[in-house]
Structure 1
């Protein structure tokens, strides 16, 4: 059975990654449908999410990048109860699990630094609660292809995607979607 996030990524394979208020404004003005919030703090995140939701977007909060949130399960409950976020992103399996149990959509982020990182990701993928995996950097087609062959869960390629060639290469290598802060790619 395909997850709701898999269906969303199939329909909207380009994700705006907003790293500041200017990025939020650009995302709101664009035809993009999914936004990853990569900034904020425990005081501001609710209003940032509300702003993006008011623009009709699907919003994910990157838990690891929000000042004041801890890498503990209670942080997922905070996002669920005090924001209108649709989902979360985290490198922490315990946070992804907690968010999943709260019926938030979940993305687990992996940094592919070397072959050991690929093996570690493979182990996490076997026992995951994530609806999608984000692989960084997103400009490593051979690794994206390998990772996507290890799982039926959608792969999002993110990080260092700076032009159309990078985006198309990631998608052609098996990524279900790409996330990028480069607003010129949001309307691909």
Structure 2
């Protein structure tokens, strides 16, 4: 499973991130092998994941954004037991660590807003072993290069990516791939 996910990251320079049912329908037709699910609630997340899986894509649920789920281990259990999701995305290191124990693929998301947040990445990576990290906002090539050199974990970058030049810049800075809600970027 984790090998399949790593291969999908290598094969998909752009990951479709969906935040509505309309964007989900569009994402199901793009070439990205991975879909980041950034919306839903405890009632509809199993159906959303099922649509992604039916399209032959890997489903990553952003646990922090699912209405009705608390930032607790039981939320990870719910995703594992009640959906067919391949993994989770979260800003919560404890949830990422727990999800890894359950053999879910994990994306630890960081918001890099200042130098303190940047130094926190290195500290967190020593304690938590996510499969991938995601850094937001994108469009910081020098900072991204620095983050990529901190570890051997693939780095995804997202946020504010809306043009082909943004994608090229982030990949050139060392990102394994980018995530974007911009449908124009999905079909580059």
Is the TM value for this pair above 0.5? yes
Q: 1:86 — aligned with what?
A: 86
Gaps of at least 5 residues in structure 2 are: none
Check if 1:147 corresponds to 2:126: no
Q: 1:107 — aligned with what?
A: 107
Shift of 1:4: 4.7
> Using the alignment, how far apart are the partners of 2:14 and 2:167 within structure 1?
9
Q: 1:30 — aligned with what?
A: 30
Shift of 1:32: 1.9
Shift of 1:91: 0.3
Query: Do the aligned residues in 2 keep the contact of 1:19 with 1:181 (CA within 8 Å)?
Result: yes
Shift of 1:129: 2.3
Of 57-66 and 22-31, more deviation after overlay is shown by 22-31
Q: 1:130 — aligned with what?
A: 130
Aligned length: 187
TM-score scaled by length of structure 2: 0.96
Shift of 1:95: 0.6
Q: 1:8 — aligned with what?
A: 8
Query: Do the aligned residues in 2 keep the contact of 1:3 with 1:131 (CA within 8 Å)?
Result: no
TM-score scaled by length of structure 1: 0.96
Check if 1:48 corresponds to 2:48: yes
Of 59-68 and 2-11, more deviation after overlay is shown by 2-11
**Root-mean-square deviation over aligned CA pairs:** 1.2
Query: Do the aligned residues in 1 keep the contact of 2:133 with 2:154 (CA within 8 Å)?
Result: yes
Where 2:139 maps in the other structure, the secondary structure is coil
Query: Do the aligned residues in 1 keep the contact of 2:112 with 2:118 (CA within 8 Å)?
Result: yes
Q: 2:19 — aligned with what?
A: 19
Query: Do the aligned residues in 2 keep the contact of 1:155 with 1:175 (CA within 8 Å)?
Result: yes
> Using the alignment, how far apart are the partners of 2:182 and 2:89 within structure 1?
19
CA deviations 1:24-64 (Å, max 9, x no partner) are: 00011222211000000011100011011111111100000
CA deviations 1:105-149 (Å, max 9, x no partner) are: 000000000000001111001222210000000111111100000
